[in-house]
């Protein structure tokens, strides 16, 4: 679940801040962010967070927010698969609203080009180098065929032919055929948090278009090259960028609330 839990924190923070709004289910007053195009049938790990929350509540009721649990779970997930650790700031509170209407515009898409990714992360206070470092979380996890079908079938110049051929075996060209078949984002060490993601990009073996655009003759090629050569540089940059991401528009003081259940407002 490591990749999914890191992504959950990321998709939370990019929509109205790190406020656990992504965890809220549909209700009379809430339109759930889980229904956003970039989240639906894709974001997962909710039951892990609910389990953590129930155990924390039994020991220390009404104190630890779901937003903080998401932030800590992301850090612990990185550590569990050999990635860096960092000190998680605590004290976020939980939202009483959902940001469904903002989700489509605020979450990156697998189709995004480099300029779009740079501007989107910049709008959240994250610079280009931090965007590339955070993209390196794709050193773990999997993607559905529907997200990389176009890239592996369009015979583009920025994809290794053998890699494309291998991926086509479980991802046919026709929409609706194998849409949910999974492939690892990092084909070399899919369950280990390392810098192979960047080495793959240099070999034109990025799975998603939004991965390969980071190394495609543009302004970020030099950063990808640097990370491909130094796992330690990538790890320290990733850790620092995760701390900064966890700082996006938190609710503090008397704003928001501490939810009793992560999927519903009190």
Report the first-to-last Cα separation within the chain, whole angstroms: 28
**Residue 167 is part of a domain; what is its CATH number?**
1.10.420.10
Please enumerate, by residue number, every residue annotated as part of a binding site for heme b.
138
For the stretch 173-200, pLDDT in tens is 999 999 999 999 999 999 999 999 999 9
Please enumerate, by residue number, every residue annotated as part of a binding site for substrate.
108
Residue 140 · residue 186 · CB < 8 Å: yes
| Token couple for 254 | 């008397």
Please enumerate, by residue number, every residue annotated as part of a binding site for Ca(2+).
12, 15, 17, 19, 21, 33, 139, 186, 189, 194
Long-range contacts of 220-223, Cβ-Cβ distance < 8 Å, separation of 24 or more: 220/114, 220/128, 220/131, 220/132, 223/128, 223/129, 223/132
Burial class (CB in 10 A: 0-12, 13-18, 19+), 51: exposed
* 20, pLDDT greater than 90: yes
Regarding whether 97 and 142 lie in a shared domain, the answer is no
Average of per-residue pLDDT across 250-255: 97
Please enumerate, by residue number, every residue annotated as part of a binding site.
12, 15, 17, 19, 21, 33, 108, 138-139, 186, 189, 194
Query: Under 8 Å CB-to-CB from 201, ≥6 apart: which residues?
Result: 211, 212, 214, 215, 224, 228
| Token couple for 54 | 């129930």
Average of per-residue pLDDT across 18-47: 96
Regarding whether 64 and 1 lie in a shared domain, the answer is yes
Residue 125 · residue 134 · CB < 8 Å: no
Length of the chain: 266
pTM, full prediction: 0.97
Structural domain boundaries enclosing 137:
128-242
Domain count, the chain: 2
Residue 260 · residue 266 · CB < 8 Å: yes
Question: Strand pairing partners for 142?
Answer: 184
Q: How confident is the model at residue 108 (pLDDT cuts 50, 70, 90)?
A: very high
The Cα–Cα gap between 233 and 227 comes to 6
Average of per-residue pLDDT across 141-150: 97
Average of per-residue pLDDT across 136-148: 97
Regarding whether 238 and 171 lie in a shared domain, the answer is yes
Regarding whether 179 and 148 lie in a shared domain, the answer is yes
Q: Is residue 43 in some structural domain?
A: yes
Regarding whether 142 and 234 lie in a shared domain, the answer is yes
Q: Which residues are catalytic?
A: 11
Average of per-residue pLDDT across 85-109: 96
The Cα–Cα gap between 148 and 179 comes to 10
Alpha-carbon distances of 107 from 20, 94, 146, 169, 212, rounded to whole Å: 15, 20, 17, 29, 18
Q: How confident is the model at residue 155 (pLDDT cuts 50, 70, 90)?
A: confident
For the stretch 40-90, pLDDT in tens is 989 999 999 999 999 999 999 999 999 999 999 999 999 999 999 999 999
**Residue 44 is part of a domain; what is its CATH number?**
1.10.520.10
Average of per-residue pLDDT across 241-254: 98
Residue that is written with structure tokens 């931090």 in the block: 130
Regarding whether 177 and 73 lie in a shared domain, the answer is no
- What's the confidence (pLDDT) of residue 156? 87
- What's the confidence (pLDDT) of residue 54? 98
């Amino acid at each position: 679940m490591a990749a999914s839990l890191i992504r959950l924190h990321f998709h939370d923070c990019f929509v109205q801040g790190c406020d656990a709004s992504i965890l809220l289910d549909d209700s009379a007053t809430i339109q759930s962010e889980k229904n956003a195009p970039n989240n639906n049938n894709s974001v997962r790990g909710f039951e892990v967070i609910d389990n953590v929350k129930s155990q924390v509540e039994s020991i220390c009721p009404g104190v630890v927010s779901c937003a903080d649990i998401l932030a800590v779970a992301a850090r612990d997930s990185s550590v569990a698969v050999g990635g860096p650790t960092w000190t998680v700031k605590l004290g976020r509170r939980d939202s009483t609203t959902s940001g469904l209407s903002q989700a489509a515009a605020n979450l990156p898409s697998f189709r995004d080009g480099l300029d779009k990714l740079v501007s989107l992360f910049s709008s959240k206070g994250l610079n280009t180098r931090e965007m590339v470092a955070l993209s390196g979380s794709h050193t773990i996890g999997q993607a559905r065929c529907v997200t990389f079908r176009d890239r592996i079938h369009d015979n583009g110049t920025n994809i290794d032919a053998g890699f494309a051929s291998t991926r086509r075996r479980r991802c046919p060209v026709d929409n609706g055929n194998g849409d949910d078949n999974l492939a690892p984002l990092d084909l070399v060490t899919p369950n280990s948090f390392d810098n192979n993601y960047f080495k793959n990009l240099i070999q034109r073996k990025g799975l998603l278009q939004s991965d390969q655009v980071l190394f495609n003759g543009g302004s970020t090629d030099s950063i990808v090259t640097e990370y491909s050569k130094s796992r330690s540089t990538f790890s320290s940059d990733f850790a620092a960028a995760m701390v900064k991401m966890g700082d996006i528009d938190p609710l503090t003081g008397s704003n928001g609330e501490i939810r009793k259940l992560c999927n519903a407002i009190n």
